[in-house]
Amino acid sequence: MWFKVLEHSPKPDALKEISVNGVELVLTNVKGRLYCFENRCPHEEVRLSLGCIKNKKIKCALHGYSFNLETGWSSEEDLERLKIYQVKREKAGIFIEMEDS
Ligand code: FES
């Protein structure tokens, strides 16, 4: 199910915190492409919105591990995968795909 989360795209490389169905997410805009992921580092569960975007990856502020924004895989092989959500941009706004709870 698609949920409308914003009217407009976030500014480039901004980490916009949003909440859908009680799940904390981050929406970001990398060179015009939108990405959405869970706002929880799979390593030690700090908020990834405290990190920064580098080379199409989100870099965690705590230990510096990076997660690919398309696959969710980390730069560290033994870490759990970051949960990624589908995003679409329409005239009516920005939508995230998530299971209805
Ligand atoms: S808590 Fe994110 S890399 Fe350690």
Query: Atom 4 in ligand 1: which residue has the minimum CA distance?
Result: 63
Q: What pLDDT sits at residue 54?
A: 94
Contact assessment for residue 38 and residue 24, using Cβ atoms and an 8 Å cutoff: yes
The CATH number linked to 31 is: 2.102.10.10
Q: Which atom of ligand 1 approaches the CA of 79 most closely?
A: 3
Task: Find the residues whose C-beta lies inside 6 A of ligand 1.
Answer: 41, 43-44, 46, 60, 62-63, 65
Q: pLDDT tens digit string along 10-68?
A: 999 999 999 999 999 999 999 999 999 999 999 998 999 999 999 899 999 999 999 99
Q: Is 59 exposed, middle or buried (0-12, 13-18, 19+ CB in 10 A)?
A: middle
Report how far ligand 1's centroid is from the alpha carbon of 90 (Å).
Answer: 33
The residue range of the domain holding 35 is 2-97
Report how far ligand 1's centroid is from the alpha carbon of 59 (Å).
Answer: 9
Q: What pLDDT sits at residue 100?
A: 74
Structural domains of the chain, count:
1
Report how far ligand 1's centroid is from the alpha carbon of 40 (Å).
Answer: 9
The model's pTM is 0.94
Q: What pLDDT sits at residue 101?
A: 64
| Burial letters 88-101, b for 16+ CB under 10 A, else e | eeeeeebbbebeee
- Edge-first strand listing for the sheet containing 33-38: 15-20, 23-30, 33-38, 84-85
Q: Which of 48, 41, 47, 36 is nearest to 5 (CA)?
A: 36
Beta strands in 39-92 (DSSP E): 52-54, 57-59, 66-68, 84-85, 87-90
